[in-house]
Structure 1
């Protein structure tokens, strides 16, 4: 058979196929629109927040004369770290250790009590559990200043006055109502089908708590940890009323070291504030996502 008699392939009559790497039809291209109003508002808010921080850092690096007579927004002409050396050599480590003990203890008490309480309030849907939950949330409306005198008498009767326990227990008690509210909102986001699946497998309520609820509620738990730690770290009323000696003194009371009847050592005071805020800022950088997700109520999703 000659080459002239071989069948030739038929020519394609339809439209040519699109190139393999060409654009696909029907795809929507979403573009972000600029929002100058929101951007300007965010910039103004950033400036408002950063100006006091800059003034504090600048004053902590100056001498007493420039801090009292100069412009607080003027950069220090001769920066010095003498104020930080003064703070570190004036018992700052002891104050930091006491404050850390209070914060960790408050977190342990709040988590140990609030997580099972929130789990019971969500899973036990009875009239009594709902009433107990609403009664417990009444603590949000009770200010600490209104009950400080009965608390003082109670702590004195228990023999806890002038100790770290006198600060830890009231701080944990006043942090619990908000913590329970956050955890209940988080646990309600967990699907009911997951509980039913574990119940069909024969899981007990305690196993559901540790194997299902706690892992899915990490956002809310992280929010509670940060909130309780901040309440303990920045607490001033309870350490002031329930402690007296230098042994259980915390950072907020340590600031009084630089305040006397003859004046205030402003640079050293601000240097102490800067050093006190570094641990809190570091914790926020690590757990900011858990904090935001927990406050938005999507920690269980």
Structure 2
């Protein structure tokens, strides 16, 4: 038993080392002059040089790419959660005649990739004059995430004791107050799980910004990185600095929300 546990821990540490190695190389090379990166890419930096970050942030317009990604991703996730919470509450807490059909409808949204409908989406946004618009990108992202968010949060709402609702009604609370003051605080782990699992793919998405955006100043980080590769392809130190900047918000998000993510996943497994 002890040897089995040791082997399990050894495999986990080996996997962590393999997964973290590219990140460590990226971080170290971002702190070295470009000449050192070209000559000895795997060597530790002799001195820490932060000039590559200034180059990436100002000369490569990374500041605008980061701003666009933050605005689009945060707005899309917030709109997704705002729309999904009431729908998940109704599906999880009430018995509806059409409840099975609604559940199947949301499940269909999970099974059909939104990229298959790129032509109708593009023509719809073109009709609404939302092509090359951050608002159009936000609406596409938010709507594509609703099925997943409803499915996750409805499972949490369904597992809450019904006595809580009954006690709140006896105290004179209306349905809106029960939803906002009693039920929503109890599903915070589910909300945190949805936020993280939606934030990461939207932050890293390359497809929709490439198709829907036309103006360079409105590009998000993944598309902006392609411009960076073309113009600064010989400045590897600045390129690594740009990659570190792109990964930093995701690292901060996971560090801040780790507790809520674990609570959400374990609570979902318990149900």
Shared fold, TM over 0.5: yes
| Contact persistence 1:259–1:265 (CA under 8 A) | no
The unaligned stretches of length 5 or more in structure 2 are: none
Distance 1:73 1:62 in 2: 11
CA offsets per residue over residues 220-247 of structure 1, 9 Å max, x none?
0111122222232212111111001123
Computed over aligned residues only, the root mean square deviation of the Cα atoms, in angstroms, reads 2.4
Residue in 1 aligned with 2:120? 150
The unaligned stretches of length 5 or more in structure 1 are: 1-31
Residue in 2 aligned with 1:214? 184
Distance 2:149 2:8 in 1: 32
Residue 231 of structure 2 is aligned to residue 287 of structure 1? no
Distance 2:146 2:236 in 1: 36
Residue 79 (structure 1) shift = 4.4
Residue 264 (structure 1) shift = 5.2
Q: Which of 41, 60, 72 is residue 102 of structure 1 equivalent to?
A: 72
Residue 42 of structure 2 is aligned to residue 73 of structure 1? yes
CA offsets per residue over residues 267-288 of structure 1, 9 Å max, x none?
2222111012222211221111
Q: How many residue pairs are counted as aligned between the two chains?
A: 269
Residue in 1 aligned with 2:6? 36
Aligned pairs for 1:238-277 within 5 A: 238-260=208-230, 263=233, 265-277=235-247
CA offsets per residue over residues 198-218 of structure 1, 9 Å max, x none?
223332221110111101111
Aligned pairs for 1:95-174 within 5 A: 95-174=65-144
SS at match of 2:216: coil
Higher helix proportion: 2
CA 235–264 in structure 1, closer or farther in 2 if over 3 Å, else same: farther
TM-score w.r.t. the length of structure 1 is 0.81
CA offsets per residue over residues 12-67 of structure 1, 9 Å max, x none?
xxxxxxxxxxxxxxxxxxxx999212221221122112211111112222344443
Residue 164 (structure 1) shift = 0.3
Residue 250 (structure 1) shift = 1.4
- Find the structure with the greater CA-based Rg: 1
Distance 2:254 2:110 in 1: 24
